Chain A
C-alpha cells in the first residue's frame, strides 16, 4: 500500500518533474480525472515515465507498470487478459505512450492489440519527437520540423496513426487536443465505455522540444487546430465525425512562428509548408467526409 506523503486533489501528485508548461502533464491529469481509481496504467520509457516516478516514489495513486518502449500495448493486453480470467470486467486498462513508443517501435504490438480487439484504452500523447532522449525525430515529427536528428528540418510528412487505427476498424478512435479539454474528456469517457480497443491520439505541445515559451502551451495547441495542422475527429462504429471545423484556416505562421523548431526556415520554405499544410488539410477533410 502506498504511503501518501502529499495529498493531491486527483490521482496525480501535485509535484511532477515534467517541464513547466508540459502539455502531456495536463493530459495525464485530465485523463485520470475521467477514468478514476479503478484503472491500471501501462507506461513505456519516455516523458510519461515521469509519472512512474523515481526510486521508491511515484506520482500516481493507481497501480501501474513501466514496461519496454515497444510493448505498451502488449503489456496492457496481458493485464486485460488476467482481469478477464478473474472475471473483472470493470477495471480500465490504460496504455499511455508517446508518439515514438507508438508509431515507431511500438506499432507492431499496438496493431496486435487492435486486430485482436483486446479491451484496452490506448492513449498516444503526441509531442512529435523522442523528447525524453533529447528531441530526436520520430515518424510523427511534422514536415520541416528541426530535431536533433533532422537538423535541417524533416524531409517527410508524418505517419498517420488515426488512419492506421481506423484501418483495423476498431470500435472507437479519436484525435484530441488540450485546446479543448471538454472535448478531450468526453472522448476519454467514450473510450473508457468502449467494448473493445479504443485509441486516442492527443496533440501534445512540448515547450522544451518545440522551443517556445512555456506559457504558450494552450495557445500553440489552439493554433495547431486553427491552422489545420491538427484535425479533431472521431471514428465511432465505422463512421467519422469531424468535431471542429475552422471556417477559414489561419496562416501557418500563427502556429510555427512561435516555435524554435521551425526557426531556421527560409521564406520559400515557409511558403512551402503553408502550401503543404493547406493541401494536406483539404485532401484530408475530403477523405474524412467520404468516411462519414
Chain B
C-alpha cells in the first residue's frame, strides 16, 4: 500500500491499468482528455501491455472496446459530455450484448450552450441504456469504485457494463492524496478476464446480435432487467469484500447523520463532500439535518433509499442536471417513486449546472428551506436553487431586425 497524489483522471487510469486492460480505445474530450493521453503513455512505455487504438470518434471508441471485449479481453475507454452522447447508440450494443465494460465518464454538460464544465446531464441522459452507474465523491472513490465496478460488472449474474461517473474538474482535475494498493491485491480481487455467455471465438463460433423478433425481444430485455436487479446484491457483496481486502467501507447509498434527521438531502457526486461539511456545521447549531449519498444510481437502490429515508418527513433531492420537461430532475423522480407508499414531502432542487459550484451556502439554504417546510413555516421551495435573478434577461434578443 502506498499513498499517491493524483487527480481523478489519473486515479481512473491507475485503476484501469491495475485491472490489466488489454485493449484501449479513447477519443479526447475535455475534461476526460488526459485519461486518453495517460493511457497511451502507459502503452507506449510498456507499463501497460495493451493495444492502443487511436480511434477517430467516441462512436468508434466504444465500438472498438465492445467488440474487443467480445473477442475475449478486458477493454478500456472513457469519455464525457458530447462524447458520451455520440456513444449513445453503441451503449445499447454493449449492454444488450452483455459486455461488461467499465467506462469512466467525466461528467460535463451536453451542448447547447457549449460548456466544458461539470454537471450530470451527460450521464443522466444515458440512464436507461442498460449500464450501471456509479457516482464518486472524491478521488479515492474514483479508484475504488472502478475496481468494484469491474468485479460487479463481470459477475456471472450481472454481465452488465458500468459507467463510473466523476465530476468534471471538481474531481477529474483535483489533486488528492489516495491509497493505491499493491498489484497483487487487485489481481486477487478482480482476477483475469474470462468471456462468458457472448464471445467471438473461432473454436466455438456463435453469431451475436442478429435480428430478434417480438416473440423473444421482451424476454431478452427482461434478462437485462433481472441482471440489474441482481446487481444490487452483487454490488453490496463486492463492497463487503472490498472492505475486507482494502479496509474502506462503501455502500450503495450512504446515510450521513440521517438516523435522527428531521430533513435529509439526497445528492450524488462530489457535492456530497460539501453536503457532509454543511451537515456537520448545521448539526453544531442544533439543526437535525442529514445527507443521503447515492453512490449507485443504476440500478436504482430503491430499497436502500427507503431504509435510509423512511423516518424522514421532509426530503430534498439535488439534481445536478436540468431534467427539462420533467416534473423534476431524474434523481428526484426516482426517489419519489421509491417513496411512493411512505408519507413524506420530497422537494426537487436543481443546480450546479455547467460548472456552477454547488456551494456550502446554497446547500445550507436548501436545508433551511426544508426545515421550515417540515415545521409548517413555509410552503414553496426554490427549485432552481442557484438561479440568478435576471435569468430571463440573459442573452435575450431584444429586437429582431
Binding site for B on A (CB under 8 A): 1-2, 37-40, 42, 49, 52-56, 58, 60-68, 70-71, 73-79, 81-86, 91, 108-109, 111-112, 115-116, 118
A residues in contact with B215, CB < 8 Å: 55
Contact present for B55 and A74 (CB under 8 Å):
yes
Distance from A93 Cβ to chain B, minimum over Cβ atoms (Å): 9
In whole Å, how far is B149's beta carbon from the nearest beta carbon of chain A? 20
Task: Verify if B89 is at the interface (C-beta below 8 Å from A).
Answer: yes
Cβ contacts A to B, 16 pairs, < 8 Å: A1-B205, A40-B202, A53-B207, A58-B210, A61-B205, A63-B200, A63-B207, A70-B59, A77-B67, A78-B25, A81-B23, A83-B71, A109-B57, A109-B59, A109-B60, A111-B56
Distance in Å: Cβ of A50 to nearest Cβ of chain B: 9
How long is the Cα–Cα vector from A61 to B205 in the complex, in angstroms? Answer: 7
A84-B55 CB under 8 A given contacts A54-B210, A63-B206, A78-B71? no
Is B90 close to A, CB under 8 A? yes
- Please report whether the interface of chain A is mostly helix, strand, loop or mixed according to DSSP: mixed
- Not counting A2-B205, A53-B210, A78-B68, a sample of 20 additional A-B residue pairs whose C-beta atoms are within 8 angstroms of each other reads A1-B206, A39-B202, A42-B67, A53-B207, A55-B211, A58-B210, A61-B205, A63-B204, A63-B208, A64-B205, A66-B210, A67-B63, A78-B25, A79-B67, A81-B51, A82-B71, A86-B22, A109-B57, A115-B56, A118-B53
Are B70 and A81 in touch, CB under 8 angstroms?
A: no
Min CB–CB distance B102 → chain A (angstroms): 16
Which residues from chain A contact B59 at a C-beta distance below 8 Å? 68, 70-71, 74, 109
Contact with A along B153-179 (1 / 0, CB 8 A): 000000000000000000000000000
- Contact yes or no, A82 B73, CB < 8 A: yes
Bin chain B's interface residue count.
Answer: 35 or more
Q: Is B75 an interface residue (CB 8 A)?
A: yes
Cβ < 8 Å to A, chain B residues 93-108: 93, 97
When C-beta atoms are compared, the residue in chain A nearest to B69 turns out to be A82
Name the CB-closest residue of B to A11: B205
Interface residues of B (CB under 8 A from A): 22-23, 25, 49-51, 53-57, 59-60, 63-73, 75, 89-90, 93, 97, 200-202, 204-213, 215-216
In Å, the complex CA distance between A142 and B209 comes to 32
> What distance in Å separates the Cβ of A200 from its nearest Cβ neighbour in chain B?
21
Rounded to whole Å, the gap between the CB of A95 and the closest CB of chain B is 11
C-alpha gap A79/B64 in the complex (Å) = 7
Q: Kindly list chain B residues whose C-beta atoms are within 8 Å of the C-beta of A115.
A: 56
* Nearest-neighbor residue (CB-CB) of B73 within chain A: A82
Chain A residues contacting B53 (CB-CB under 8 Å) are 77-78, 81, 116, 118
* B51 neighbours in A (Cβ, 8 Å): 81-82, 84-85
User: How far does the alpha carbon of A68 sit from the alpha carbon of B58 in the complex, in Å?
Assistant: 14
Kindly state the separation between the CA atoms of A49 and B73 in the bound complex, as whole angstroms. Answer: 26
Question: Judging by beta carbons under 8 Å apart, are A65 and B25 in contact?
Answer: no
Interface centre among B64, B66, B202, B215 (most CB of A within 10 A): B64
B23 & A78 in contact (Cβ 8 Å cutoff): yes
Chain A residues near B71: list those with CB within 8 A: 40, 78-79, 82-83, 86
Given A81-B25, A84-B51, are A67 and B202 also a contact pair (CB < 8 Å)?
no
A residues less than 8 Å from B209 (CB atoms): 52, 65-67
Q: B88 to chain A: closest CB distance in Å?
A: 11
Is B205 in contact with A112, judged by CB distance below 8 angstroms?
Answer: no
A112:B60 contact, CB within 8 angstroms: yes
Q: A63-B202, A70-B59 are in contact. Are A54 and B211 (CB under 8 A)?
A: yes
Q: Give the residue name and chain of the B residue nearest to A61 (CB).
A: B205
**Contact call A55/B212, Cβ cutoff below 8 A:** yes
Question: Is the Cβ of B73 less than 8 Å from the Cβ of A86?
Answer: yes
Minimum distance in angstroms from B196 CB to a CB of chain A: 15
Verify A82–B93 contact, CB threshold 8 A. no
Among A42, A82, A118, point to the contact of B22 (Cβ < 8 A): A82
Contact of B207 among A65, A68, A112 (CB under 8 A): A65
Question: Smallest Cβ distance from A116 to chain B, in angstroms?
Answer: 6
How distant is B26 from chain A, measured CB to nearest CB, in Å?
Answer: 13
Point out the residues of chain B lying under 8 angstroms from A40, CB to CB: 71, 200, 202
The list of the 3 closest CB pairs from A to B, nearest first, reads A78-B67, A82-B71, A112-B56
- Chain B residues contacting A84 (CB-CB under 8 Å) are 51
Given contacts A54-B211, A68-B90, A71-B63, contact A108 B57 (CB under 8 A): yes
Decide if A38 touches B64 in the complex (CB within 8 Å).
no
Q: State how many angstroms separate the Cβ of A27 from the closest Cβ of chain B.
A: 18
Once the chains bind, are A85 and B23 in contact (CB under 8 Å)? yes
Q: Give every chain B residue within 8 A of A108 (Cβ-Cβ).
A: 56-57, 60
A109 and B205 in contact (CB under 8 A), knowing A55-B213, A78-B68?
no
Q: Given A71-B60, A109-B60, answer yes or no on A79-B213 (Cβ-Cβ < 8 Å).
A: no
A60 to B206, CA, bound (A): 9
Contact present for A82 and B202 (CB under 8 Å): no
Question: Bound state CA distance, A53 and B254, in angstroms?
Answer: 47
Question: Separation in Å of the A2 CB from the closest CB of chain B?
Answer: 6
Which single member of B57, B66, B205 contacts A63 (CB below 8 Å)? B205
Q: Is the CB of B205 within 8 A of A65?
A: no
Chain A residues with Cβ below 8 Å from B67 are 42, 65, 67, 74-79, 82
Chain B residues positioned under 8 Å from A81 (CB to CB): 23, 25, 51, 53, 64, 68, 75
